[in-house]
Structure formats: C-alpha cells, structure tokens
C-alpha cells in the first residue's frame, strides 16, 4: 500500500521533502499540498515534475479523504495549529521543528495526543538519524570515553536573512542542539545562561550574533554551544564530548582532501540541505514505515516539548543575563513505550 501524503508549506524544506518522498523514498507519495502562496506551490510542483492537488488552506489538506498522513513544513508559528488539526482528524503528522512556538504550545499537542490515546506525532529532529551523531552516541553508550563531563558544540551558518532575529537563534537553530544533546547524553537540562560576545559586523540591527549558550544538565554535565549564524565561511556543525577517559568528536562530512598550490584542504559545506541530506532521508523513511506499521518511534511530541521547555529558558536567559532554571516535568507514561 502506498501511503498518501499531504504537505503543508512548499518552501525550501517542503520542496525537499516532496522530492524525497516521491523520488527517493519507498512506500509513499505526495498527493496534496498547500501554501499561502498558492502560485508558488503550483510552480514548485511543476519544477519537481510532480502531480498533486493544490489547496488554498492547510486544513483542506488535513481533511482530504485522499490524504493518509500529513507533513507540516510551513513557517514555525503555524506548526501547532496544523499538528493539532491532524490529531483531531486522527491522521499521523510529521511536523518540522519547532513543534510550537513555546513549551505551552507543545503542551497542547502533547495533551491532545494523549487524549487521542495513540502516538500520531513525529517532530522533524533529524540529527538522531545522522550517521555521524549515531556513531558518536555509540562511542558514549559503549563506555569508550567513560562518563561525559563536558560538551563543546557549535552551530554556524554562513549567513541568515534580515528577518532572522536574536530569539530565532534559540527557537529556530539551537532547538536542534536542545534535542540532539538530550538524546546524545541521555540527560535533561537543569539550567542555562546566554552570553553575548562582540557582535559581528556581518549581522544586522535585530540580531545579536554570535551567542554562547551554557547549560548544566541534571547529571552535572557542562555544555557550551556557540551559535554563530553569520560566520561567513560555511554551514558547520561541531560537537565534541569530553569524557573521563577520552574525547569523542562528531565526524566531519566526508570530502576529498586536496593538496594543491602549497595548501592542504577539505571542502566545507555551505547549505544545510546538503549537510544532513542522508539524515532527512532516513527520518522520513522511518516515519513512512512506522505509520504503515501502526506505531511511531521517532522524536515524539514529548521530545518537541522538552526542547521547547529548554528553549523558553534560553529565551529568558537571553533577556535576563542570569542563570535560568530549566523546569522539566516528569515524562508521562504514555511516552515511555
Ligand atoms: P520557507 O520560508 O522556505 O518555507 C515556508 C513556507 O511555508 C513558505 O512557502 C510559506 O509561504 C509557507 N506558509 C506559511 N504559512 C503558511 C500557512 N499558514 N499554510 C501553508 N503554508 C504556509 O521556510 P523553510 O526553510 O522551508 O522552513 C519551513 C519550516 O521547516 C520551518 O518551520 C523551519 O524551522 C523548518 N526547517 C527545518 C529544518 C531541519 O533541519 N529540520 C531545516 C529547514 C527548515
């Protein structure tokens, strides 16, 4: 049986996911899309050479009897509404990160899902599907470096648009680290502080860039995350785990090493779409397979909530300059299976 997908939001990642569902992955097909820019949606389908129904409104996609499951790839502030509507319609939904704009919004999704009685939501945190992060986690869980004590991480983009503001460094970008570092260390955050170094001349008035986010976890691990979204040189994700007996580092994406013109060099990627291209394939194939098998296993609404609880504390810390607590309620039994 081919799983029939409806995609809400046909921007950059929406188009990427439509392409991969129809041309790369097995067992699913996009049959309906919507975007507030309807002409843009039609043009995207034409470019991708894909035939699908185009709706004016995401809710029409969710309600369509032709659609079995939903992908939400529209702007961040629309995620909660469409995910809640998919749950109300009883349809599985893959929602790009963030699940909602605040922990409160994520809690609405968690509550609706628990009320429904069965997992319907997977959040688009793809890093746990990345082969590099998986290899790094295996080193940790195999005990090869002892217990983790410190993590040094960096998230660098070459540049961001003018509408990217200081808070978005947390809600749109650090949110990935907030999820993957919990998963990597099997730990939760206890407190957070945000420090602002000298601002790069490549930023703009509404964005303080770079930022350093400092966490303490429940187990006492210290994590520093540098977030630098106008770094100019490339899209670069770094993660180094300092353990009791050794240090483990996220592998670099493979690239040919060049000896040329008296220089030794490797290429650094510049586009996020390329950096995690395989991980996106694996996460969406897992969603398709899990929907067909009747049981979702990927990053859950609870994971989306946990990341947002920490993100809310980061936002508070950005404004206060103080060390802010991260207050995470206990995980409901519903998410333990
Ligand atoms: P984008 O701006 O290129 O595309 C977003 C699209 O959503 C636009 O075409 C816009 O017209 C449409 N849209 C907005 N409101 C809508 C609505 N109410 N109904 C239907 N369509 C609507 O942005 P993008 O880079 O594609 O990002 C989309 C989402 O995916 C964001 O939430 C972003 O955080 C997430 N994202 C995740 C990753 C990842 O690594 N997992 C990477 C990129 C983007």
- Residue 78 Cα to ligand 1 midpoint, Å, equals 9
Asked if the model's pLDDT at residue 337 lies above 80, the reply is no
Q: Is 58 in the pocket of ligand 1 (CB under 6 A)?
A: yes
With a pLDDT cut of 70, the percent of the chain lying above it is 100
With a pLDDT cut of 90, the percent of the chain lying above it is 99
Give the mutation target among 7, 8, 9 for probing the ligand 1 site: most ligand atoms within 8 A of CB. 9
Nearest CA owner, ligand 1 atom 42: 13
pLDDT in tens, 89-136: 999 999 999 999 999 999 999 999 999 999 999 999 999 999 999 999
Write the DSSP assignment of 93-117 as a string of letters: EEEESPSSSSHHHHHHHHHHHHHHT
Give burial (CB, 10 Å; 0-12/13-18/19+) of 220.
Answer: exposed
* Average per-residue pLDDT for the chain: 97
- Residue 34 Cα to ligand 1 midpoint, Å, equals 12
pLDDT in tens, 176-235: 999 999 999 999 999 999 999 999 999 999 999 999 999 999 999 999 999 999 999 999
- In the chain, the number of structural domains is 2
Pairing of strands 222-228, 3-8: unpaired
| Residue 153 shares a structural domain with residue 244 | yes
pLDDT band at 336 (very low <50, low <70, confident <90, very high): confident
pLDDT band at 32 (very low <50, low <70, confident <90, very high): very high
Q: Is 10 in the pocket of ligand 1 (CB under 6 A)?
A: yes
- Residue 35 Cα to ligand 1 midpoint, Å, equals 10
Q: Six-digit token pair at 216? A: 């303490």
Q: Six-digit token pair at 36? A: 């507030």
Asked, for residue 334, whether it belongs to a domain, the answer is: no
pLDDT in tens, 277-298: 999 999 999 999 999 999 999 9
Q: Six-digit token pair at 86? A: 């998919």
| Residue 165 shares a structural domain with residue 293 | no
- Residue 33 Cα to ligand 1 midpoint, Å, equals 13
Structural domain span for residue 174: 131-270+307-311
- How far is it, in rounded angstroms, from Cα 92 to Cα 296? 9
Asked if the model's pLDDT at residue 55 lies above 90, the reply is yes
Cross-strand bridge partners of residue 54: 33
Write the DSSP assignment of 280-328 as a string of letters: HHHHHHHHHHHHHHT---SS-HHHHHHHHHHHHHHHHHHHH-S-EE---
How confident is the model over 26-40, as a mean pLDDT?
98
| Residue 285 shares a structural domain with residue 248 | no
How confident is the model over 168-179, as a mean pLDDT?
95
pLDDT for the residue 326: 98
Q: Six-digit token pair at 255? A: 């690239």
pLDDT in tens, 298-316: 999 999 999 999 999 999 9
Q: What is the CA radius of gyration of the chain?
A: 20
| Residue 57 shares a structural domain with residue 102 | yes
- How far is it, in rounded angstroms, from Cα 255 to Cα 238? 16
Atom of ligand 1 lying closest to residue 40 CA: 9
pLDDT for the residue 238: 98
Nearest CA owner, ligand 1 atom 29: 73
- How far is it, in rounded angstroms, from Cα 199 to Cα 126? 30
| Residue 161 shares a structural domain with residue 253 | yes
Nearest CA owner, ligand 1 atom 32: 76
- How far is it, in rounded angstroms, from Cα 215 to Cα 192? 5
Asked, for residue 19, whether it belongs to a domain, the answer is: yes
pLDDT for the residue 246: 98
- How far is it, in rounded angstroms, from Cα 136 to Cα 248? 7
Cross-strand bridge partners of residue 55: 34
| Residue 87 shares a structural domain with residue 45 | yes
Q: What are phi and psi of 327, to 5 degrees?
A: -100, 100
Asked, for residue 335, whether it belongs to a domain, the answer is: no
Q: Is 150 in the pocket of ligand 1 (CB under 6 A)?
A: no
pLDDT for the residue 9: 98
- Residue 21 Cα to ligand 1 midpoint, Å, equals 17
| Residue 153 shares a structural domain with residue 261 | yes
| Residue 122 shares a structural domain with residue 240 | no
Give the mutation target among 74, 164, 176, 235 for probing the ligand 1 site: most ligand atoms within 8 A of CB. 74
pLDDT for the residue 199: 98
| Residue 168 shares a structural domain with residue 248 | yes
- Residues 36 and 9 sit within 8 Å (Cβ to Cβ): no
Sheet holding 236-243, edge to edge: 247-249, 236-243, 148-156, 222-228, 211-217, 189-195, 324-325
């Amino acid at each position: 049986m081919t799983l029939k997908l409806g995609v809400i939001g046909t921007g950059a990642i929406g188009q990427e996911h439509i392409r991969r569902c129809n041309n790369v992955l097995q067992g699913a097909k996009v049959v309906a899309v919507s975007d507030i820019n309807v002409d843009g949606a039609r043009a995207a389908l034409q470019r991708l050479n894909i035939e699908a129904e185009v709706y004016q409104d995401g809710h029409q996609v969710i309600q369509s009897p032709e659609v079995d499951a939903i992908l939400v790839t529209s702007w961040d502030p629309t995620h909660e509404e469409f995910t809640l509507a998919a749950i109300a319609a009883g349809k599985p939904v893959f929602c790009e990160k963030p699940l909602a704009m605040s922990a409160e919004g994520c809690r609405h999704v968690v509550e609706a899902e628990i009320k429904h009685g069965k997992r319907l939501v997977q959040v688009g945190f793809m890093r746990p599907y990345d082969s590099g992060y998986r290899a790094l986690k295996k080193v940790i869980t195999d005990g090869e470096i002892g217990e983790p004590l410190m993590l040094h991480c960096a998230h660098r983009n070459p540049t961001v648009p003018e509408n990217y503001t200081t808070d978005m460094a947390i809600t749109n970008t650090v949110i990935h680290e907030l999820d993957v570092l919990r998963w990597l260390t099997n730990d939760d955050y206890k407190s957070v502080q945000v420090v602002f170094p000298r601002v790069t001349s490549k930023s703009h008035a509404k964005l303080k860039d770079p930022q350093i986010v400092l966490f303490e976890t429940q187990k006492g691990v210290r994590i520093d995350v540098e977030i630098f979204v106008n770094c100019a040189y490339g899209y670069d994700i770094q993660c180094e785990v300092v353990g009791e007996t050794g240090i483990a580092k996220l592998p670099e994406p493979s690239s040919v090493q060049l000896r040329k013109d008296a220089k030794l060099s490797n290429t650094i990627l510049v586009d996020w779409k390329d950096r995690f291209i395989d991980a996106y394939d694996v996460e969406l194939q897992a969603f398709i397979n899990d929907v067909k098998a009747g049981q979702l296993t990927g990053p859950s609404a609870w994971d989306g909530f946990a990341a947002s609880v920490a993100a809310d504390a980061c936002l508070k810390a950005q404004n206060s300059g103080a060390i802010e607590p991260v207050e995470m309620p206990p995980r409901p039994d519903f998410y333990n299976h």
